[in-house]
Chains A and B, each alone.
Chain A
Amino acid sequence: MAAARLTREPLELPACRALRLQALARADEGFLLSLAYSTQRGYARNHAFVGELRIGKVAVEMDIPELGFAVEIGEVTLTECETVNQFKGSKTAPPQFTRGYGLVFGQTERKAIAMALVDRALRWQELGEEFTGAPAQDAEFVLSHADNVQATGFLEHIKLPHYVDFQSELELVRKLRAEAEAGA
């Protein structure tokens, strides 16, 4: 089976780990940082040891469907982090270490570590852990709100005119207030 591709197919939930990692790699750094920090403070606590943290350049290949092959167009700097996390074990698995993974564009150790922590928190189900209701464990919440291009666009669209829907709401509020006053 071909790997799931976040940018070529609509995101379907629940998402496999490959899709989650793609989404986290594209995620807003501040959002990931806060979620990762929340796991350190006890919301789905998972103390992480940094097993690997490295920076390097990789080739960028562009797949050209019309040609049927990929063309190397340059190289890009990436930061990769692999964490080693505590695990007490579960009913079915003896105690062992588990891992979280982060791979991000640029020289960005903070985002790579944050991604690894969030990846680890999102793996609760496959590792037989409990869902504690922590935001970092909630894949639908995390994946739906991590993309800052989406978030920025939707936030800033409220600068566009909304006077038609505002007018309809204004009329409704006036009507409800008039009736409330008449009834008082």
Chain B
Amino acid sequence: MTDAAYNFAYLDEQTKRMIRRAILKALAIPGYQVPFASREMPMPYGWGTGGVQLSAAVLLPEDRFKVIDQGADDTTNAVSIRKFFERTAGVATTTRTADATVIQTRHRIPETPLAEGQILVYQVPIPEPLRFLEPRETETRRMHALGDYGLMHVKLYEDIARHGHVATAYAYPVMVEGRYVMDPSPIPKFDNPKLSGCPAIQLFGAGREQRIHALPPYAEVVSLDFEDHPFEASKPDHPCALCGATESYLDEVITDDRGSRMFVCSDTDYCTSRRDAALEAAQ
């Protein structure tokens, strides 16, 4: 039940309108970082305040909401945010990717392909893909305006010259619709191919940095690479020890103090669904 002391989904209507305008602008200019008047939320910055404001702005009473952190529904950040909207919006919640209409995520894209009508909301710590090459916002905004991404290409080239590979494993930069270089949030680069041609709306919210960026459905998203060093979506070379999946992203879990380990799906809904289906087939 909604706590009657709160406006629907916590934020006041004027704030939600302001955020929706920013979302529309972000969808109209895919990959462009739209400044928005981020509000202080009842949770610390860095813990999903941007994602929570996006979810608050798009949630409707009839929505079914899912929250994951590291691919799992039962991690502390995911549990807190799910409870927050259960209390302030009274929306139904689910752990099933296919059943959710709005999914808020930290660091993963679900394994189950998303569909039209779904919205994926990413929590974003640093929205600026050029930030660690150029710390000044005044400079990076100019570079985006001019499409001046030489610094990024030099960085990738230097990685290859030094290590033989691009030394970025997560938050791997992408080019959106041939115009803006975008940070996809700290998802493993394994997830990057799922960004492109996705039927769902993808929204990225950075509360502390006051930025929203977005990918409309079916946007073309290309991970930056070179012809002779093509992008590779890598993952640990094992099947899941629980469900046997070979195509899912895996966590490495240490199981004792002698260094034994197992690899299991990071997407808990995907793994559980596969095990349930196998169990049913066996009966």
Q: How far is the CB of B282 from chain A (nearest CB, A)?
A: 30
Contact of B137 among A144, A165, A171 (CB under 8 A): A144
Q: How far is the CB of B213 from chain A (nearest CB, A)?
A: 13
Q: Does A91 contact B (CB under 8 A)?
A: no
Q: Does A92 contact B (CB under 8 A)?
A: no
Instruction: Find chain B residues with CB under 8 A from A149 CB.
Output: 40, 44-45
Taking a contact as CB atoms under 8 Å apart, the answer to whether A8 and B37 are in contact is yes
Q: Which residue of A lies closest to B166 (CB)?
A: A172
Taking a contact as CB atoms under 8 Å apart, the answer to whether B170 and A165 are in contact is yes
> Is the contact region of chain A dominated by helix, strand, or loop, or is it mixed?
helix
Contact digits for A167-183, partner B, Cβ 8 Å, 1 yes 0 no: 11111100110010000
Taking a contact as CB atoms under 8 Å apart, the answer to whether B46 and A154 are in contact is yes
Q: How far is the CB of B171 from chain A (nearest CB, A)?
A: 7
**B residues engaging A (CB < 8 A)?**
14, 35-38, 40, 44-47, 49, 69-71, 75-77, 106-108, 125, 136-138, 163-165, 167, 169-171, 186-190, 208, 210-211, 234-236, 249-252, 266
Q: Does A94 contact B (CB under 8 A)?
A: no
Distance A168 CA – B185 CA, assembled complex (angstroms): 14
Taking a contact as CB atoms under 8 Å apart, the answer to whether A9 and B37 are in contact is yes
Distance A163 CA – B234 CA, assembled complex (angstroms): 16
Distance A101 CA – B6 CA, assembled complex (angstroms): 39
Known: A65-B14, A140-B136, A171-B236. A161 touches B75 (CB 8 A): yes
**A residues engaging B (CB < 8 A)?**
7-14, 65, 140, 144, 149-150, 152-157, 160-165, 167-172, 175-176, 179
Instruction: Find chain A residues with CB under 8 A from B45 CB.
Output: 149-150, 152-154, 157
Contact of A156 among B44, B164, B169 (CB under 8 A): B44
Instruction: Find chain A residues with CB under 8 A from B236 CB.
Output: 167, 171
Instruction: Find chain B residues with CB under 8 A from A167 CB.
Output: 188, 236, 250-252, 266
**What 5 new A-B contacts, CB under 8 Å, besides A140-B137, A164-B188?**
A8-B37, A160-B76, A161-B69, A176-B167, A179-B164
Contact of A153 among B47, B75, B250 (CB under 8 A): B47
Residue with the greatest number of chain B CB neighbours at <10 A, chosen from A149, A152, A168, A176: A168
Taking a contact as CB atoms under 8 Å apart, the answer to whether B46 and A156 are in contact is yes
Taking a contact as CB atoms under 8 Å apart, the answer to whether A160 and B47 are in contact is yes
